[in-house]
Chain A
C-alpha cells in the first residue's frame, strides 16, 4: 500500500498525459464510435483499427485516459465522504487502470 502512495509523481504524470489525450481525442471518438457508427451517420470502417499505427494510437487513446480517470476518481471520492476507504480506493483505481492497460494491449494486439 505504501508503494502505491510513493508512486505519487508517476500517477500525477500519467494523470496529466491522460488528461491531454482525453481533451484532444475523446470527444471526436465519442462522436465517431458512440453516435456516428450506431446511427449510420458515416460508413463505419472498423478495418482501419487493424492497421498497426492505428493499433498503437488506440492503445494511447484508451490506456492513458484510463490513468487520468483513475487519478481523478481516487482524489474526488474521499472529498465526498469516502475518506475512510481511501486505501482500498487507491488499489481499486490504480489497479483498475493497470489491468485496463494490460487488457488494452491484449485487445489491440489481437485485432
Chain B
C-alpha cells in the first residue's frame, strides 16, 4: 500500500482560461489542439456525403452541389490549412518520439521528420491518382 498525500492538501495552480494567449508558443500549441475540431467537422460532413450516396447518386450530387456555397468553401479551405498544420506538427513530434537506430548510428530528427513528410506527399499523390484512375 502506497501512502499517497491527502488530495485536499495538494497545491493546484489556478490557470486563467486565457493562459494560452500569453505566449506565442502557448498559442501555437492551442492552435494545434484546435485542428481536431476542424478535422472532426470535415469527417462528419464527408460521412454525410457518403450517406447521401447510399441513398442515390442524385442525392449525393445535390449534397456536393450544396458544398459549393461560399460558407462551405471557406470552411474547407480553413479545414485544409488546419489539417496541414496537424500533419506537419504530427510528423515533427513523431521525429522526437521515434528513435531509428542502425547499430550505433541514430537517425537525426530532421531525417525522420523529412521521411514522414516525403511519405505523406507520396501517399497524397497516390490517392489523387487512384481517385482519378479508378
Contacts and interface: CB of A to CB of B under 8 A. Distances in A.
A26 B37 CA distance: 13
Interface string A28-43: 1111111101110011
A69 B123 contact: no
Nearest to B75: A34
Q: Please report whether the interface of chain B is mostly helix, strand, loop or mixed according to DSSP.
A: helix
Interface string B90-117: 1100000000000000000000000000
A73 B37 contact: yes
B10 interface: no
B28 interface: no
- Size bracket, chain B contacts: 35 or more
A100 interface: yes
A66 interface: yes
B42 A34 contact: yes
Interface in B30-82: 30, 33-34, 36-37, 39-40, 42-47, 49-51, 53-54, 57, 60, 64-65, 67-68, 72-73, 75-77, 79-80
B131 A42 contact: yes
Interface of A: 19-20, 22-35, 37-39, 42-46, 48-49, 51, 54, 58, 61-62, 65-66, 68-70, 72-73, 75-76, 79-81, 100, 103-104, 107-108, 110-111
